[in-house]
Each structure stands twice: as structure tokens, then as C-alpha cells.
Chain A
């Protein structure tokens, strides 16, 4: 893996070896789709990526990575 960025790599990669700082994610199935989400509490999760879904789901802004979703 090669980075090509203007940011110093010590800033970009800071904390990559620390499991407490990295995201803890779970897979959930909702509305017929399999999503990887990061639980944030109160029954909500932050979408990390879509794992199994119809192609048009990628065009739905509600399913963009970073959005909050109610966990089933």
C-alpha cells in the first residue's frame, strides 16, 4: 500500500496500532441489506460500508458512510 498525500504519514497513521482507538464495527442486516456499522449507542450505528445491497442503494444519500442508522 502506497500513500500519496500532502499530510505527514505520522499524522495520517497515528493510532493505527492501537486497537482502542480504531473503530469497532458490527455487521447488521436491515431492509434486506447487509451493512457494516460502528455502534454509537442509543440504538444507533454509524454506517461504515455497504456489504450486500442492490446497486441503486449506493445512490441513496441516507446510506452513505458516516450516516447514522437505527440498529435492528
Chain B
């Protein structure tokens, strides 16, 4: 890899192409492509993948495949700020991870002003659930699963009532986020979270694609095609609204 690759994509923004090209570029385009308008290879959609463990305040040992929140957060800020990016697709296949980091990513996604669509492929478990519901519209693959279970104690355990109150508060943050960003009711989400007899090592529930939609956790069952089509629809809708707003002024 050369240092040139590190400078970032230098392709001109849509609409700026003609000014950015060298004088002979149009003739070259006619020779090579048979037309003067060169197809733009740069996408207006930013695809963000959230995989493995969501790594937060502690660096995890190397056997974990991780998504680092300190990279995703400025990445989302850059996507929000970059005028070439018109929509964000978030693809999840995560086993969960750090509560603080997961909620921070979910809050960042939810507060983006650009259209954003989430897609759960494989799994969106534990703290992956708030991230999965953070978009404007959420999709889940037919076979993908989401495990909803309580937050467990780990690290130094102090046997005082405050420990449990603290955990309860942490859990309440997750419940509040999920119920305010999806159609699931608090009662139903907690029912799934505290269900016994489903998981071998824990209490909780594993919901598979269509069940997640039936419970109102996710908006629709679908794959990458459905998610991209919806994102493009939202982008077009946003442009229309911006155009209408401009016309009124």
C-alpha cells in the first residue's frame, strides 16, 4: 500500500466532474466509453458494518473479532458532514459487547439527519439490539436472529443493593432506547428479556427474522436489496422535501 491510498477518495463530487477533469478528458471519455459523461464510480451511500464484539473501554484479547467504537463514532460524524454522502446503510452481525459503546453508537445513528437504514444479517444480539433499531427503517434477514436478555453482572461484584440498582438503571437505558425507536412495547420487550426456558445459560429469548417483525422490534424482513431500495427511496424523499422547501422560500 502506498501513501497515495491514504489521502482518501479524491473523486469529484457529483456535478463537479466536468470542472475537475483535465482538458483532454472529454475526448478520452468518448474514445473509451463512447460518451462524454463519465459514469461516477463513487457511491452516495456509506456502508458501515458492525461485526463481532463491540469493543468499548477495554481492549479485548485478539481472539475476538471486534468493532471499535472510537472508529465508528468519528466515522458517523464524517458521514454526516460529507456532502457526497446522502444516506447510510448499517449492516449488523454482532454478538453484543460493551453497553456504553453500543448505546453511544446507537444514539449517534439515531441522531444523524441523513437517511439511515439498518440490516441485521446473521445476528444482532444483546447490545446489538438498540443499534439494530436506531435507523429510520430496519430490516432483518429471514434467518437472522436477535437475542434479548438481561444485562449480567461482571467484574468486581459488590453485594450491596446499589449494585443491583445500578444494573437495573443500565438495563433501563437499553429498554428505553429500544422501545422509543421501534414499535415494540416496554411490556413485551421485558417479557422477551426475562423469559425462562428458552436459553440454556441465561434467561431471555432468541427471536428469528419474522418473529422480530411480528413483535414490532424490526420493521420488515428483507435482505440487502430491500434495504438499499428503502434507503434510496428515503434519499429521494429527502431531496424532494429539500427541493420543496427551497421552492417555498
Contact = CB atoms under 8 A, between A and B. Distances in A.
B30 interface: no
Nearest to A3: B154
Nearest to A15: B61
Sorting the interface of chain B by its residue count into under 10, 10 to 19, 20 to 34 or 35 or more gives: 35 or more
A58 B61 contact: no
Contacts of A55: 74, 77-78, 81
Contacts of A42: none
A31 B6 contact: yes
A6 B96 contact: yes
Nearest to A16: B61
Nearest to A25: B59
A4 B7 contact: no
A2 B99 contact: yes
Contacts of A16: 58, 60-61
Sorting the interface of chain A by its residue count into under 10, 10 to 19, 20 to 34 or 35 or more gives: 35 or more
Nearest to B101: A1
Nearest to A11: B63
B8 A59 contact: yes
Contacts of A57: 6, 8
Interface in A30-72: 30-31, 33, 49-50, 54-60, 62-65, 67-70
B1 A4 contact: no
Nearest to A59: B78
A34 B68 CA distance: 17
A2 to B, nearest CB: 5
22 contacts: A1-B56, A2-B154, A2-B167, A4-B174, A5-B53, A5-B127, A7-B95, A12-B53, A16-B61, A21-B61, A23-B59, A23-B62, A30-B6, A54-B8, A56-B8, A58-B77, A58-B78, A59-B8, A59-B78, A62-B1, A64-B71, A67-B1
